[in-house]
Amino acid sequence: MYKYWVMEMMEAHHQQSLAIQMKQRRLANGHKPVSIPQEALPNGLHRENVNRKHTAQRNGITKSASSSKNNVPKKEAHPSQEGKASASYEPTPLVWAVITFWCYFILVIVGWVRDILRKTGLENTKGGQEKEHMKEFPSLYQGFDNFYVRNIYIKLRDNFNIPVCGIPGAEFELAERRTDDYNWTYHMTGRTKRCINLGSYNYLGFAENSGWRHEEVRKVIKEYGSGVGSSRQEVGTLDLHQELESLVAEYTGKEDAITFGMGFATNALNIPALVGKGCLVISDKLNHASLILGIRLSGAVVRVFEHNDMKSLEKVLRKAVVEGQPRTHRPWKKILVIVEGVYSMEGTIVNLPEVVALKKKYKAYLYLDEAHSIGAMGKTGKGVVEYWGVDPKDVDIMMGTFTKSFGSSGGYIAADKKIINHLRLHSHSATYSTAMPAPLAQQIIVCFKTLLGRDGTDEGMYRTRRLAWNVKYFRSKLKQMGYIVYGHDDSPVVPIMIYLPSKVGAMGRLCRERGIGLVLVGFPATPITETRIRVCLSAGHTKEMLDKTLDAFDEYGDLLWMKYSSQEVPQTIIPPYPQREKKGDENEE
């Protein structure tokens, strides 16, 4: 009798948290909550069925096949869409959502108590404190963010900002840190630990410190130094910048390109040169902070559509064109749709063919941020445009960064000559900020040359193929183990759900001990129930490295109960390991 009562109670809990969870899901994805028939949940035993029932598609791809009359006509959809990997999205299992909330609940309660203890002086307050003479000033900052940092983040702080003592390649040296005050301060012991690097954005493995590419960079440091000291508009345009820009234009298939010293600033400081008052920006819900900042600085009105949901995008576009500006109902001057190629936290690939079709239908302009896809997607690494087989001409502005696939820093915008000329004159970054230092530019130039095969080898192609193989292999193995993995099967960003904040600490520490460096992402970067491991695969990872990682995941997945998935995974056929066709780099690791 007691047992039955407990089960009923749990059921009530499930229902309640399901409602919360579905509401969150709707907020996060824009999918209407899937109603779950009451009888589907008699007890926890039928969980598998339930999960299958409300397995929604987070991307719009599979949905587009059954698109409604409002959606893009099928004939407009690009033929190359077929055969593209589908994205899986499995919502948080109910039990784990409840436990996660419970976990945060306890953390918050403990935090409250400790805050009271700190206030009364029973517990030492650690960390930075406002100076005595500044106490009369209005408090510099407050709110939940600080509570979170003080009481929750601090417990896991040893998993973030770990210093790297060397090159962030496929393997790296992590500094050993010690703390005597429970993560408030660290000091480095001087020892390092060699770990497999599953966190750095080094998709093509171009983070190198030897070989001909490296020698070219050294030459440039000697010739130009490590700074420029002037903006592009003044006297900061080096011949290297011009060479780089013509290579970017060639690689992306656009007429011209302009480059900047920081990827974040490329978005934040150029969007204001493109849109302004009276313009509308339609932005994906999960767009990067730099895009959001750029939109805010531009003064344009922004409307958000649900993450990679083409129906939602069309709804917003249609409403915008039909209704015009708020209050005055004047038509918008122009509409700019901003999407990313690969979303760095979700691993989703944008449904580009449909975005292009919608953009054409509603005469909007398209800004595509390829920060995580240039070099990493497509047969020859030319990004999601190549992946989907979309004509680069259909994307008005192609933006990307050099941090990820090129092992450098900075960003570019490639577009028609007219747009680039406008940006050369009106970009905040080109006018007020010093130009990209020469060694960074040279690193990118040599990477482009490799990718374009100008070095006389097939190294570039070989790397893109290896990355694609690694992605296929790693993702399918993880799924077979029973992990919930977000994103498309072809995406080099692999978010693996772990849900509980306590598992962040456990998994991070266990894996580091075993020589595996992981990036763990939790609230507030993700919704509260969607704490995850984010793996960024690299062409530099060997099969042995991946196998070692997978072994660890298999073992710890059982130990920490992280194999949450209840979906059946069909056996994926892993293609044979890619082989070189021609001679590669002589300095292959």
Partner 1 sequence: MESVWSFISPEPWSFGELFDALRQAPMYHIVVEIILVVFIIRLLLTKSYPIESDELTEAEKEELIRDWEPEPLVPDTPEDHPDLKSRVVTKNGSTSMVVNGKEGINMATLDFLGMISRKETEEAALKAAGKYGVGSCGPRAFFGTIDVHLYLEQKLASFCGVEQAILYSYGFSTVASAIPAYAKRGDIIYCDEGVSFPIQMGLLASRSKLKFFKHNDMDDLQRLLEDQMALEKKNPKKAKVTRKFLVVEGLYANYGTIAPIAKLIEFKYKYKVRVFMDESYSFGVLGKTGRGVTEYSGVKIQDVDLIVVSMEMALGTMGGFCLGTQYVIDHQALCGLGYCFSASLPPLLASAAHAAIDCLEADPDICERLRQKASFLHERLAEIEGITVSGVPISPVKHIRLVNSSGNRDADTRLLQSVVDKALDRGLVLTVAKYLNDEESFLPDPSIRVTVNVDLTEELLIKAVDIMKNTFSEVFQKSG
Nearest to 404 by CA among 200, 189, 266, 223: 200
Residues near partner 1 (CB under 8 A), total: 120
Q: Site residues for partner 1, window 158-177 (CB under 8 A)?
A: 160-169, 172, 175
Q: Between residues 18 and 269, which has the closer beta carbon with respect to partner 1?
A: 269
- Decide whether 93 or 236 has the Cβ nearer to partner 1: 236
Taking residues 48 to 87 in sequence order and writing x for each that binds partner 1 by CB under 8 A, - otherwise, the string is ----------------------------------------
CA-CA distance, 477 to 572, in Å (whole number)? Answer: 9
357: its two tokens = 């079709």
**Token output for 550:** 């997978």
Nearest to 336 by CA among 273, 290, 392: 273
Q: Which of residues 267-286 bind partner 1 (CB under 8 A)?
A: 268-269, 272-274
347 φ/ψ sector (left φ>0, alpha ψ -120 to 50, else beta): left
The CB-of-496 to partner 1 minimum distance in angstroms stands at: 15
Q: Least distance from C-beta 266 to partner 1, angstroms? A: 10
Q: Decide whether 266 or 464 has the Cβ nearer to partner 1.
A: 266
Distance CA 298, CA 74 (A): 35
79 Rama class: left (phi>0) / alpha (psi -120 to 50) / beta: alpha
Residue that the structure tokens 């009369």 belong to? 136
By CB under 8 A, the residues from 94 to 153 that bind partner 1 are 127-131, 136-141, 145-146, 149, 153
Phi-psi region of 209 (alpha: psi -120 to 50; beta: other; left: phi over 0): alpha
Site string for partner 1, 327-356 (x = CB under 8 A): ----xxxxxx--------------------
* CA distance linking residue 307 with residue 31, whole number of Å: 10
Residue 123: which residues within 8 A CB-CB, separation 6 or more?
114, 117
Closer of 319 and 379 to partner 1 (Cβ)? 319
For partner 1, the closer CB: 211 or 482 = 211
- The DSSP bridge partners found for residue 497 are 532
Restricted to residues 197-236, the positions that interact with partner 1 (CB under 8 A) are: 197, 199-202, 207-209, 214, 217-218, 221-231, 233-236
Q: Does 178 bind partner 1 (CB under 8 A)?
A: no
What is the nearest approach in angstroms of partner 1 to the Cβ of residue 261?
5
Contact string 370-409 vs partner 1 (x = CB under 8 A): --------------------------xx---xxxx-xxxx
Instruction: Write down the least CB distance from residue 328 to partner 1, Å.
Output: 15
List all residues 6 or more positions away from 149 whose beta carbon is below 8 Å from its beta carbon. Answer: none
Identify the three-state secondary structure at position 506: helix
Q: Which listed range, 49-57, 258-266, 462-470, 559-567, lies at the site for partner 1 (CB under 8 A)?
A: 258-266
Cβ nearer to partner 1, comparing 73 with 127: 127
Mark residue 561 as left, alpha or beta (left: phi above 0; alpha: psi -120 to 50; beta: remaining): left
Omega cis (within 30) before 73: no
Residue list 507-566, contact with partner 1 (CB under 8 A): 517, 519, 534
- The stretch near partner 1 (CB under 8 A) out of 23-31, 287-295, 376-384, 500-508 is 287-295
* In the complex, least distance from residue 501 CB atom to partner 1, rounded to whole angstroms: 15
> C-beta of 210: minimal distance to partner 1 in Å?
8
CA distances from 191 to 159, 175, 518 (A): 17, 6, 19
443: Cα within 13 Å, side-chain hemisphere: 26
Helix axes 144-151, 94-119, angle to 10 degrees: 90
Q: Which is nearer to partner 1, 44 or 225 (CB)?
A: 225
Closer CB to partner 1, 93 or 381, in the complex: 381
Please name the residues in contact with 414: beta carbons below 8 A apart, sequence gap of 6 or more.
248, 249, 252, 254, 256, 257, 397, 398, 399, 400, 420
Nearest distance, CB of residue 225 and partner 1, angstroms: 4
Query: Is 251 or 365 the residue whose CB approaches partner 1 more closely?
Result: 365
Residues 30, 93, 439, 495: which binds partner 1 (CB under 8 A)? 439
| Interface of this chain with partner 1, residues 235 to 254, rule: CB under 8 A | 235-239, 242
DSSP state, residue 192: E
- Reported in sequence order, the residue ranges of 326-419 that DSSP labels E, i.e. its strands, are 335-340, 365-369, 397-401, 411-415
CB 146, min distance to partner 1, A = 8
CB of 149 to partner 1, least distance (A): 6
Q: How far is the CB of 478 from partner 1 (least distance, A)?
A: 19
User: At closest approach, how far in Å is the CB of 476 from partner 1?
Assistant: 25
Question: From the CB of 93, what's the least distance to partner 1, in Å?
Answer: 26
